[in-house]
Structure 1
Amino acid sequence: MKDQAESLRIKLQQKRSSTNHTTSIAVISGKGGVGKSNLSLNFALSLKQQGKSVLLFDMDIGMGNIDILMGVTSQHTVVDMLDNQLPINEIIQEGSNGLAYISGGSGLSSIFTMEFEKIDRFFEQLQLVLPQYEYVIFDMGAGMTNESLQFLIAMDEIFIVTTPEPTSITDAYAAMKYIYSFNNTIPYYLVVNRAQSENEGKQTLQRLSNVVSRFLNKETIQLGILPDDKTVSKAVSHQTPYILYSPKSMISRAIESLTSRYLENTPYNEGLEMRYSFITKLKRLIER
């Protein structure tokens, strides 16, 4: 085991010089059932409609549903890359509107507990493909695990999805607090989903922002409000992303506005520590 660790450490040091300009975004929620995967998918498609190159990575441990929301059948998952030695380009598939995506798998939870060779392979393969995209969006599983934390604290940005329900707000804050205790420099983008009105959405955003500011001394970015629109459930029933199912619906217009706001106001944290590439940060964490 010691020899394997030393071998991996040497390989990581050799690769440290490589960088890319890909922005890595994790989409999380404190609890399930808040519409996180739908946001990840439709935001990715909205970015693509605005001419951005995007890869959507389903990281929902054992319960990935991105392919179901698109009505496609995935031939391969990330587990095939790790267990069957498939190159990452063979597990990247094409979904709705040509969106590139990687399907999750039931073995995904063991990425950071498996043998060093597989961890190394995961990094190698991910590094090969990241430079091909401007944005890589990781749709994370609900809640926090030690495995998902390894990814989250290496991200460039984190989207936190909540609903106006008090329990959802509390869980969202708990997730941010947990991540903050390991990395306090990652920008937090707040999204309120299923708001009954714009006013309710604004109050929820402000309430959550105030709590984070008061107890963590950290400012957040209030990214947007998504309405409680029946179009979403209809689109899910038809296994079509709502931005494609009903482009003129309230929810579709809201996700487009959210995307435009994100592209126009993405912050550069000049006063914080140097922004390492996503892969470099992951390697540094594993090397500890």
Structure 2
Amino acid sequence: MSANRPIKVIAVTGGKGGVGKTNMSVNLSVALAELNRRVVLMDADLGLANVDVLLGLQARYTIADVLDGSKTLRDVLLNGPGGVKVVPASSGVQQMTALSPQEHAALIYAFNELSEQMDVLVIDTAAGISDTVVSFVRAAQEAIIVVCDEPSSITDAYALIKILNVDHGVFRFRVIANMTRSNQEGINLFNKLNAVCERFLDASLQYLGNVPFDENVRKAVQKRQPLIQFAPRSKAANAVRAMAQKIDQWPVQASARGHLEFFLERLLTADVSGY
């Protein structure tokens, strides 16, 4: 296997809050780790961190310490469940919500020092359509959009897709329907979003699947555990595992796309003979 083996970089986003985006990021990360992938989960909600809270982890240092130069990314890494490494964000630090383009670039480049330690980077973005969200999604290879059965979820997801597509040339989006009451509801949600995107945008949406509403999700959050460890045989956990297996099969991007992205140096020198 090549030392320059490309790394799969996945941004999990959703337009609005409350759709279960962070829960999805956490559980997909643990499910990918179960497939023997070395996974790093980045909390990219830079001013309102919640990945460490969700997992009951104590973050001594955060991304804020990396940006001010006092710590490296290695210094702030936390050991999460199932072997997942977590890069925690800061909470209640307002200046972290409005980073300059230079600070964004510095943070994205900082991940190069971890490139030998991971196969997959999962980025849990903030809610909304801020420059921060757009910057991280654009720097990833894959954008997963989480939606649920609320009109504002669909409209906000569309708004995010539109900005990424029209202004930043992102063409491919994967969609997860969360907290569904049936498989058909998930398909209907995807079709609703896809119909609008097909009509107005030059974007390709692909349906990754649905996660059924499951009371175990709330219980797992209360226990500060990932759902797939708290209730490993639950319907929702099975759904997440099935999606992680699909994600694991996605081909890894092995060439640069001409803008700022994670592990750019590695892409520029990639030898994909190991694939």
Please tell me the TM-score bracket, short chain as reference: 0.7 to 0.9
1:111 maps to 2:99: yes
Alpha carbons of 1:124 and 1:202: their partners in 2 closer, same or farther (altered >3 Å)? closer
Give per-residue Cα distances to partners, 1:193-236, cap 9 Å, x unaligned. 01011111111112212221221132211001001100000001
CA shift for structure 1 position 36: 0.3
Question: 1:28-73 CA deviation, whole Å, 9 max, x = no partner?
Answer: 1111001000000000000000011110000113111111111111
In the other structure, the counterpart of 1:284 is none
TM-score norm. by structure 1 comes to 0.82
Q: Structure 1 CA distance, aligned partners of 2:245 and 2:186?
A: 18
Structure 1 residues 215 and 27, CA gap change in structure 2 (3 angstroms): same
Return 5+ residue gaps in structure 1 as ranges.
1-18, 282-288
Secondary structure of the residue aligned to 1:278 is coil
User: Residue 7 of structure 2 contacts residue 252 of structure 2 at CA under 8 Å; is this kept in 1?
Assistant: no
* 1:189 aligned partner: 174
| Residue of structure 2 in register with 1:218 after alignment | 203
Moved more, 121-130 or 75-84: 121-130
Q: CA–CA distance in 1 between the matches of 2:237 and 2:132?
A: 33
The equivalent of 2:158 in structure 1 is: 173
Q: Identify the range of structure 1 (187-196 vs 82-91) with the bigger mean alpha-carbon deviation.
A: 82-91
Aligned to 2:262: 278
CA deviation after TM superposition for structure 1 residue 187, in Å: 2.1
Tell me the alpha carbon deviations over residues 137-160 of structure 1, each in whole angstroms, 9 at most, x when there is no partner.
Answer: 110000011233222222211010
Q: Which has the higher contact order (CA 8 A, sep 6+)?
A: 2
Match of 1:153 among 121, 138, 141: 138
User: Bigger shift: 54-63 or 19-28?
Assistant: 19-28
**Do the aligned residues in 2 keep the contact of 1:93 with 1:101 (CA within 8 Å)?**
yes
What is the identity, as a one-letter code, of the residue corresponding to 2:35?
Q
Q: What's the Cα RMSD here?
A: 2.4
Decide which moves more: 23-32 or 39-48: 23-32
C-alpha distance 171-85 of structure 1, shift in aligned 2 (>3 A): same
Instruction: Select the residue among 139, 163, 183 that pairs with 1:198.
Output: 183
Letter in 2 for 1:278: F
Counterpart CA distance in 1 for 2:69 and 2:129 is 28
Deviation at 1:120, TM superposition (A): 6.5
- Map Cα deviations across residues 121-178 of structure 1 (whole Å, 9 max, x no partner): 5354221113421111110000011233222222211010010212211111111001
CA distance in structure 2 between the partners assigned to 1:86 and 1:101 by the alignment:
15
Deviation track 1:5-41 (CA, whole Å, cap 9, x = no partner) reads: xxxxxxxxxxxxxx76112111111110010000000
- CA distance in 2: counterparts of 1:200 and 1:123, whole angstroms: 37
Residue pair 2:80, 2:86 contacting (<8 A) in 1 also: yes
Q: Tell me the residue number matched to 2:213.
A: 228
Structure 2 CA distance, aligned partners of 1:127 and 1:85?
Answer: 17
Map of 2:147 onto structure 1: 162
For these two proteins, the number of residue pairs brought into alignment is: 258
* Percent of aligned positions that are identical: 28
Q: 1:142 to 1:196 in 2, by over 3 A?
A: same
Query: 5+ residue gaps in structure 2?
Result: 266-275
CA contact (8 A) 1:70 1:95 kept: yes
Distance 1:213 1:86, change over 3 A: same
Shift of the 202–132 alpha-carbon distance from structure 1 to 2, 3 Å rule, reads same
Higher mean C-alpha deviation, range 208-217 or range 230-239: 208-217
Q: CA deviation at 1:275?
A: 4.1
Residues 1:144 and 2:129 aligned together = yes
1:57 and 2:45 aligned: no
Q: Within 1, Cα distance between the matches of 2:18 and 2:244?
A: 22
- Please name the residue that 1:26 is paired with: 11
After TM superposition, the structure 1 stretch with the greater mean CA deviation from structure 2, 91-100 or 76-85, is 76-85
SS at 2:61 equivalent: coil
Residue in structure 2 matched with residue 256 of structure 1 by the alignment: 241
In structure 2, the CA distance between the partners of 1:225 and 1:127, relative to structure 1 (3 Å rule), is same
CA distance in 2, matches of 1:188, 1:206: 13
Secondary structure class of the residue paired with 2:143: strand
Which protein is bigger by CA-based radius of gyration? 1
Worse-superposed segment, 129-138 or 36-45: 129-138
Q: Partner of 2:225 in structure 1? A: 240
